[in-house]
């Protein structure tokens, strides 16, 4: 349909040019984006679950912190990146903190929902057996909430790539986000689409890994 290559190049040209430029112009930046996303998730997952566990035990914390958490979830992270750069500078090392700020509230909200939806009859039965709160939480509440916990983690995997590429677009190299803006400025549309596909591949891979772990852990749900 005579679509200009600057709008949407052919699929074959995207694949060929991406493969050709991958070792030199994309691979090292892809590793940086993967590192940022993974490091941020490794901190966000335990932090989100821990905060959800604390909030679930204290109503005043749950009612007080939930609105703040919702604000962090719905606020586009790219709007906060310039402020973040003023606080920590443009060095690539602390960029994973943006992923932590983006993903922790998402994991927290989903996990908290799971913790608060434990059937009362289960907790009352544990009380009848004289179980302490910690024992009830470990043996009943946490296993019951695992589907929601994994839902939060899978959403976090998706948003981790969004956060990491957002800060790379604003702060500059290295990273796939930077390469997208760079190739756009050079009107190398094929490589722009190639980098976008690499970013999507990272998010999809993280999601698939967590989903496979969930199937092995949450065995009581088909």
Span 11-61, pLDDT tens digits? 888 888 888 888 888 888 888 888 888 898 899 999 988 888 888 877 787
Within 10 A of 176 (CB to CB), how many other CB atoms are there?
Answer: 25
Inform me whether the pLDDT recorded for 222 exceeds 60. Answer: no
Q: What is residue 46's predicted lDDT score, i.e. its pLDDT? A: 92
User: In the predicted model, what is the mean pLDDT of residues 145-173?
Assistant: 85
pLDDT category at 221 given cuts 50, 70, 90 is low
Residue with tokens 């065995």: 219
CA-wise closest residue to 219 among 143, 154, 118, 119: 143
DSSP state of 95: G
pTM for this structure? 0.82
Inform me whether the pLDDT recorded for 9 exceeds 60. Answer: yes
Is residue 180 classed exposed, middle or buried when 0-12, 13-18 and 19+ CB atoms within 10 A define those classes? buried
Helix (H, G, I), strand (E, B) or coil at 14: helix
Q: Do 162 and 202 form a contact (C-beta atoms < 8 A)?
A: no
* Pairwise CA distance, residues 97 & 41, whole Å: 10
Q: What is residue 53's predicted lDDT score, i.e. its pLDDT? A: 85
pLDDT category at 182 given cuts 50, 70, 90 is confident
- DSSP readout, 26-75? IHHHHHHHHHHHHHHHHHHHHHHHHHHHHHHH-HHHHHHHHHHHHHHHHS
Q: What is residue 20's predicted lDDT score, i.e. its pLDDT? A: 87
């Amino acid at each position: 349909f005579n679509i200009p290559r600057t709008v949407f190049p052919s699929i074959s040209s995207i694949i060929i040019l991406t493969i050709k430029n991958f070792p030199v112009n994309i691979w090292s930046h892809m590793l940086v984006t993967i590192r940022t996303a993974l490091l941020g998730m490794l901190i966000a997952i335990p932090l989100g679950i821990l905060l959800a566990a604390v909030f679930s035990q204290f109503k005043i914390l749950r009612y007080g912190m939930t609105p703040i958490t919702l604000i962090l979830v719905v606020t586009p992270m790219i709007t906060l990146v310039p402020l973040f750069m003023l606080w920590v500078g443009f060095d690539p090392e602390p960029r994973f903190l943006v992923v932590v700020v983006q993903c922790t509230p998402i994991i927290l909200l989903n996990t908290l929902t799971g913790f608060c939806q434990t059937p009362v009859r289960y907790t009352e039965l544990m009380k009848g057996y004289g179980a302490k709160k910690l024992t009830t939480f470990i043996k009943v509440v946490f296993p019951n909430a695992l589907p929601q916990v994994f839902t939060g983690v899978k959403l976090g995997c998706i948003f981790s790539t969004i956060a990491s590429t957002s800060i790379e677009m604003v702060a500059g190299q290295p990273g796939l986000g930077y390469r997208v803006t760079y190739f756009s400025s050079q009107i190398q549309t094929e490589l722009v689409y190639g980098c976008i596909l690499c970013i999507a591949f990272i998010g999809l891979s993280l999601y698939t890994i967590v989903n496979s772990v969930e199937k092995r852990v949450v065995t009581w749900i088909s």
